Structure 1
Amino acid sequence: MTLRAGIRLTTVSVFFLVTLAVALIAISLQYYFGQRMARDVAQEHYLQASNSVVSQLSNMEKQGANTIRLISQLPALLDSDQELTIRQYFKRVLQQNPAFYGVYIGRDDGYFYELINLETSESARATLNAHPSDRWVEMRVRQVDGERTRQLQYYDSAFNLRWQHSELSDYDPRQRPWYREAQQRQTLYQTEPYLFAQLQAPGMTLSQVLPDQQSVVGIDLLLTTLSDFLQTQGFGTHSGHAYIFQQSGDLIASSQHGPATLSSYLPTLVLTDEEQRWLQQQDTLRVSNELNWPPMDFALEGQPRGYSIDLLHMIAQITGMEMTFVNGLSWEQLVERFQNNELDILHSVFLTDANRHWGLASTAYATLPFALAAKQDGVSLSQLAGRSLAIPAGWSVIPIVQQQFPDIQIRQAESTLEAMQWVQQGLADAALDNAVVLRTLKSSYYLNDIKISNHIGLTVNESLEQLVMLVQPENTQLQRILNKAIAAIPEQHLQTLKSRWLDPYNAHPASSNRVPPAMLEAQAQVSQHALVPLQHNGKPYYAYVRTLENPANSQHRYFGVLVPQAVVDGPFMQQVKISIAISAAILALILPLSWAFAYPIVRPVRELAAENDKIRMHRESHVKHVPSRILELDQLSESIVQMVQTIKQQEQSQRDLLDAFIQLIADAIDQKSPYTGGHCARVPELALLLVKAADDSQDDAFKDFSVEGRDAWRELRIAAWLHDCGKVTTPEYVVDKATKLETIHNRIHEIRTRFEVLWRDAEITRLRQTLANPEQQSLWQQQCDEKQQQLKDDFEFIASCNIGGEYQDDAKQQQRLQQLADTTWQRHFDDRLGLSIAEIKRFAGPAADLPVTEPLLKDGPEHIIEREHDLSYMESLGIQIEAPEYLYNRGELHNLMISRGTLTPEERFKINEHIIATIRMLEALPFPPSWHPFRATPPPTTKKWTVVVTHASCRRNNCRYQNVCWPLLTCSKP
């Protein structure tokens, strides 16, 4: 069932929905433009921050480059005896450029001179053990009596010497990348981030070779300065992180540059007195640090990171060792340093026969199985015969692979990353390294099309997959301390280390030297300079990336910001929530008022509905105009009034048309038969006169009888005109049947023709007899005359029976008709020629052979016409009349045997059937609801029927029309 609501509820609901829609649209627009404004503000903030970073970095690099180019042209730098002049130049440079940590010069004889600005970094002051009043540090490294000595001199701001001291040093500028690359390139060179040897802090160096080709001048820029600068721009844990990174994804600086440490407490290792004395006698231990071998040993922004580094920090914590890490060098260079006794500890080493003699090995602290990286999964070394395999240069596993698989072509790469990139580029078929290293590099550098295979078929000693630390051959005490420390580290701390660095399900190990993957995703859209929405660690973030100028290096660098979307949209979303709450409160207040505001609409609509009910109840004369201040409702009311007038006119035209149709049908019925002509036209006049007389009568019999209104008189008139409408279905030849043998024509002529045939047969018989016996001609004539006279009498008898005026109950007449019917005659022509299909179907059996002897009066099967329609509908109408078996029986003897009148039972039923047809026709008509067809039936003895169309009041007044009109409206067919 369809639910419907009142107009007041509908109006209020529509008002509420429209108001709600407007509020939602307003809030949506506020949300859209507010969010866009928030993004624009954040984008503008990051643009300004990036401009600041660009300016800061560009100024540092440009100032450094310009300064180097300027001072490289100073003649004093070519003379090592003019240190005072060189110092003045360097001092002026550092004063004018506070971001420079130090300016220095290195010569081809190993001489090194540097002036350090202590105000650049507090870590520099702490590392160099400077006094708070110290402003400058002068450092010289030179060869004295066959030993390299480092001299440090501390000056205040007025350049007064406060303190100086000398110490042995293994620092050689000629071995540093800034010196070598500047000599090779002969142009300005900028190093990648590395760890400054003196500070143990990350930084970059700008260097330029001097005109004499024997000296190189350089400037140090601390990355901590850039990281601190990023933090001063408002980037932090809650406001997002800022990064400066290279195109490859390697970090240069970030706002979260602090080193990752393990906070768990470690117990102090118990050492022997001899071991403690040895440690007290040692200076800071020099420890190797590779650039890019994650997750075991790598550098992030020049700071050492990885599993081995954290393990060494634990060892230093429980033993009290002081360590300094040396990085910025390749693995081969670190090995060379260790072999030259310039490193005390070389860690992350796989012990083999080739490197066993380098020094003393510690106990193994990690096991790293080998694996292959290839574009197909499940690759083994045996499948690489005749194909290329990339391995980092200098690896101890190379001879073993060559021995076990001599058909493999080995290509040595500078690093494992380069080996994997060769595989991706199709320059190598596979790369060999430890599984954890391959997985880390694959995830860190997004080498998604590379597959890692663990079962590679390489047979190696257990020691070749275990990492150890090497110390100098004479440092047995250090070896023992390392072994004791490794064994003393609690298992839960080792599990923490493994979970942090070696977990295969950790796609990005802790403290990676790479930017988050989201930054590289945003890097692809760097040209848009817009906030990029993306997912980071399963949470929504915005990323902003901008290209930075890099005049000293061909590799692009970028500034990027990764900030949670809640940080950018949070304040704005709070305003949206407040707007929603205020809008909801206003809607709640307006809703009761809108119920009252709907009255000007509801009142006229309800009144119009009442006027419409008047029309539905045919009370058009009571319909009135409903005034309203709402133009559309007022116009609607006027249109209803106009519609009522139109309806009246339309109803009157329909009445006139209906009356014309009814009278047309009655006239057609009257014109069908001259015997009943005028009957349908006279009955309405007589009925109206009769009813009017009864209505005007004051007799007791009619005191409760009255006809009220024009509609009641019209209903009576229609009933009178329609009382005999079923007669239209009665065939004319039945209604007008004047003789017994009449159908479409009077068949007495056919019988007379047969008598004519019999007359001529008598003449022919006489003539034949006379020819045969002429002498008896008179006798034959007498017999012929007698025969013909009998035929005349018989035909006259049949003709008199055909008239139907007599009451034919005499058995003698019935017997005489039967005797005449037995009289025969000869038919010489086919009686089926020239007939219609329906007439031929009435014949039974095949045609007889001619000539055929036939009776004078015939009742044949061709005279029987079957009914085509069932009469079961009579029961549904409540009519109980016995119907003949056939529709028509046109048998000649059967018709002549009619005892009264000219109609057979079949024809009489056909005439009376017009009453049933009238009932069916009237009940099929769609009378108005106020009209009801009512069958006014005569007493059962008359067996006559009629129909009267009555008003609803007929039943309330006990069918008063029936009582008055029945004698007149009944069928009076003779």
Structure 2
Amino acid sequence: MERTRQSAQVSLPFLIASAITLGMLVLTVVLIGQSFRGMEAAKVSAASAAARQLAISVDDRIHAITAPPSTALAVLSHDALGDAENLEQRLERLPVLADILASSDIVSAVYAGYPDGDFVLLRKVLSSGTLQFPDAPEGTRYLLQTITHSREGVPGEWRFYNADMKPLEQRSVPGYRYDPRTRPWYSKARGSETTELSAPYLFFTTQETGITLSRRAATATADAGAVYGIDVTVTDLSRQLAELRQTPDTRIAIVNRDQQVLADSGNRQQPGPAISQVLSGNGDIVDGSPVSLFSAEGKDWYGMAESLDALENEGLRIVVAIPSDELLAEVWQALARQTVIAGVIALLLLVIGWFLGRQVGRPLEHLTNQVGRLSRFRFDTPVRSDSHIREARQLSVALDDMARTIRSFQSIATVLNRGQDLNNLLRDILEQIVHIVGQARGGIYLFSRQHQQLTLAVNQNLTLPATIESVSSDDDDSDIIRLLRQQISGNPVFAVLRNRRKRLIGVLTIEMEHGDNTQLSDDLIVFVDEIAGSAAVAIETRELIESQQALLEGIIRLVANAIDAKSPYTGGHCERVPKLAQMLVDEAIQSDSRAFRSFSMTEEQLQEFHLAAWLHDCGKITSPEYVVDKAVKLETIHNRIHEIRTRFEVLHRDVEIEYLSKQLSGEDEALARQEREQAWQDLQDDFAVIARANHGGEFMAEADIAEIRRIGKRTWQRHFDDRLGLTPDEQEALTGIPEAPLPASEQLLADKPEHLRPWGEHLPPVRKDDPRNQWGFDMSLPEYAYNRGELHNLTIARGTLTPEERFKINEHIVQTICMLDALPLPDRLAKVPRLAGTHHERMDGKGYPCGLSAEDMGIPERIMAVADVFEALTAVDRPYKEGKTLTESLTILDRMADEGHIDRPVFELFIRSGVYRRYARQFLKPEQIDEVDERLFMKQD
């Protein structure tokens, strides 16, 4: 039954209360909004004025920094230090430099540079409140740094003095390389007759931020004579800026025209996010003011910038950024107070309006509450009204009858939706339909297309024939009912069950023997037919689900068998692992050991695990066969040892030709023959070395690798063009590589550029930082997709696979997860990709593809890993190894458990339960099944 919902209605008390208070609320909101905008504009204007005043203060401070040192430098330009020709004469003028340093806290160093590259500098050891030279002798006040090229030995020297200019220590500093002639302050002052001021920069030795005032000596010319310099730090500007902040989180910075930070209230070396936004001008201008509004660091800011007059050639600006919430804190407090007052008034008016509305709407409220129970799906509550209004009382009676009818339909809907097993579903459907009609007996027949008959599926207290023969799917309902009436006695009513495509699926019959319904009516027949239609849909859906489940199982086994059939060396792996994993899961569920005491799986979880086990290697369908089946190092689609042997044949023939040429030229025939035999033997020996190396092993010594590389350096002559008859892929690999003229001399073994195959557009998303990586993969990716270099392959230390091929093998688990994740799996199978894709993870987090650890994996994932490893160890169909015995396999698994590769509780359950023996009897060869001492592997308490 379909019920039409009306749109939501407004209650009468609420409507009256709203009408009274609406006008007041609108007026309040408008007034508060206007008040807020006015206060906001005032605060922004005040902030702009404060920024301008701050710029004036900073200008005054910069002038105060540069004026005293400029005066001192003008006096120093007349000192005899400029004419001193050696270090001894310059040392005599140190008191003058010390007086200049002592006269100002901001002067950090005084120095002089000479045309020959000599340099003398006196600086304070304690500058800007920081000890710049922690390794200075105790009591050091000044450091003298000198470079004197006329002195023997190391030209750079450092001398340490106390406050009275008494020497404390002298050091030779070979690494002190400083040429004043290359510095901007020297070159600017050399060509000027006045004091020059540099842009702020980092000082050479102390890395402080400051400026340099420089002036040439009074006796110097533009081409000769000393140049004086004074370093002035501007570090205290940052501290001053911090003191001038309007709010705790205000950002203030001084930047030059290149947007380099010269001073910052937070002592930053680079512009912060807020300062950068002001400099970029990305914000919105506030009401035509120089203030902009922008977002940074997760909140809103007001920003402004003012130019500084000081150092006008540097284009200095002071930049201020103030958090919006701090600048407008007082505004929001005032707004909150106004809002509270308005809210109290609105609440008072709302209460008054509600009281008046209740008085008007009370007669209607009682009926509304009764009907509201139905709207809340409370069909089990009787609907009654004691209203004296006749229409209201009649309405309540009708609604009560409707509620009882709906309760009956709820019962059958629950049965149709929750039924799982088809037989139980049919039984529940029959019981509910019989109850709705008010009868006690009935039955359901299902149609068999194969036998063209109706077969009794469910019977409730009724004597019915087991089958109804001679029923065709093409018969219409009236023919089927006529046939049923001939074979079923009594007073039954029939409903033919058809699916969505109108195909016959069965018949419902109910024996009418109670109440008024014993007399069949058209209305009753139509009702039973319609209610049985929903049952037909439920039956069809359940049959479809069961058939789809069977189809899914078949497809999964088909994929697994296709993977096994793809390679003759891995046949049966995708079938054996699920069976072994299922054995272990069953044992884990039954186990009462501490590790598995709380472990259980529902029927759906078992089905999910079963499918994941069958699909755990479905990604191998993308793995190249010649990589999976690679039995020797030089194998690609074929074993390239034959190509190398052909080159040896060429060299063998070259030796014969050389021998014959020597005979023709009259050389000693015996000696030539001896050289030929020796050369042939060397070729045989070298080829044997390569042939042995072609077979992968557990370990390849460095000496063997060196021998392979030695043999590979031998050359042979190629007389044919190696670019003829190539595939497009081979031709593309040679793009950009110049062709060698013929005859070409080539190495016997080589790693050529054409052996490399880049990833191109097929780069797999396995790196952790790859934006395409939505699965959490964390794998190392080789530089190339393939490297078929002969030396690269022959010098593989272990096994037969290169790192590129090893990744290609490991990538199958990535493809497994990606393929399964792309399937539209229902919620009950949502974990299939994870269960299938974690059997190569390790308990210690060193596995792949996601690097999960034991804490990230449940018992099913750990079981899958043990099953996969044990099957691989005992398999006898691999080209690169022989199947191991039970003891050998369990010993390896025991070591892997100790190393954190597999889970030890699962491994010991594997042994304790005897699963390994049951599996061995089914799948292992008799010679692999040896006597196992299980005590050797049981280490858990």
TM class by shorter chain equals 0.3 to 0.5
Structure ID, larger Rg = 1
Name which structure has the greater RCO, CA cutoff 8 Å, separation 6+: 1
Q: TM-score, normalised by structure 1?
A: 0.37
Given the two structures, how large is their TM-score scaled by the length of structure 2?
0.38
